[in-house]
Chain A
Amino acid sequence: AQSVSQHNHHVILSEAASLELGCNYSYGGTVNLFWYVQYPGQHLQLLLKYFSGDPLVKGIKGFEAEFIKSKFSFNLRKPSVQWSDTAEYFCAVNGGATNKLIFGTGTLLAVQP
């Protein structure tokens, strides 16, 4: 069955710390991969996406993610987090003839000033 796993449910970091959020997926065939962010009181926004090509993708606000096909992973990274990065982060995948998104359960990131 198609699924997405986010192993870190709740992460607490201090400002300037480095961030890596794990995402693993189970999906047959060609996949498109996404990270969405939901800031407090705001709607889901696309942080970055991978469709093809360079497996290292850069998104908004200094975030990046690396697609490792052999590990079925698409981990999100940021070298130095800010208090404003406090939010919930969702990894998602789709592919094939449909663009139905399958989401992970999300990781709640709290950055302490």
Chain B
Amino acid sequence: DAGVTQSPTHLIKTRGQQVTLRCSPKSGHDTVSWYQQALGQGPQFIFQYYEEEERQRGNFPDRFSGHQFPNYSSELNVNALLLGDSALYLCASSYTGVGSYNEQFFGPGTRLTVL
């Protein structure tokens, strides 16, 4: 059973560019959450997708957007990159359903460097 997968593993971009990160959830999971982990910090919640809609959003600007596909996979898009967007971007999947505790499983992350 494959866990949560993310691509790419590393990415280097320059300021002002746009980036797309991808995530495939664990088998049987229908909910995907995205987190940003800056160096030396804990992960910060960006947003969560369920049934192809953004269900909740953290304190991130509109430059951060996402999408969930019918197969539950997800993309995170960041426009107009800033130096401060350099971080590890984590995807977490979970199952939203009766009896679930919404336990989240994390992928290995995408390391984004903005120059």
Please list the residues of chain A having a beta carbon within 8 angstroms of any beta carbon in chain B.
4, 32, 36, 42-46, 49, 51, 90, 92, 94, 98-106
Smallest distance from the beta carbon of B110 to chain A beta carbons, Å?
11
> Is the Cβ of A44 less than 8 Å from the Cβ of B43?
yes
Smallest distance from the beta carbon of B10 to chain A beta carbons, Å?
13
Q: Contacts A49-B103, A100-B48 given; indicate if A106 touches B109 (C-beta within 8 A).
A: no
> Is the Cβ of B43 less than 8 Å from the Cβ of A103?
yes
Smallest distance from the beta carbon of A54 to chain B beta carbons, Å?
15
> Is the Cβ of B44 less than 8 Å from the Cβ of A103?
yes
Complex: how many Å from CA A17 to CA B101?
34
7 pairs of A and B residues whose beta carbons are closest in the complex: A99-B102, A103-B42, A44-B106, A43-B108, A100-B45, A103-B43, A105-B42
Query: Using Cβ atoms and an 8 Å threshold, which residues of chain B touch A42?
Result: 108
Smallest distance from the beta carbon of B74 to chain A beta carbons, Å?
15
The size bracket of the interface on B is 20 to 34
> Is the Cβ of B106 less than 8 Å from the Cβ of A94?
no
Query: Using Cβ atoms and an 8 Å threshold, which residues of chain A touch B40?
Result: 105-106
Answer yes or no: B14 CB below 8 A from chain A CBs: no
Q: Contacts A43-B109, A44-B90 given; indicate if A101 touches B104 (C-beta within 8 A).
A: yes
Give residues of chain B (12-64) contacting chain A, Cβ–Cβ below 8 Å: 31, 33, 35, 40-45, 48, 55-56, 58
B102 to chain A: closest residue by CB: A99
Query: Using Cβ atoms and an 8 Å threshold, which residues of chain B touch A104?
Result: 42
Smallest distance from the beta carbon of B69 to chain A beta carbons, Å?
20
Complex: how many Å from CA A103 to CA B96?
20
**Residue-wise interface mask of B (69-94) relative to A, using a CB-CB cutoff of 8 A (1 in contact, 0 not):** 00000000000000000000010101
Q: Contacts A90-B43, A106-B41 given; indicate if A101 touches B105 (C-beta within 8 A).
A: no
Smallest distance from the beta carbon of A57 to chain B beta carbons, Å?
13
Q: Which of B92, B101, B107, B108 contacts A101 (CB 8 A)?
A: B92
> Is the Cβ of A46 less than 8 Å from the Cβ of B103?
yes
> Is the Cβ of A106 less than 8 Å from the Cβ of B42?
yes
Query: Using Cβ atoms and an 8 Å threshold, which residues of chain B touch A32?
Result: 101-102
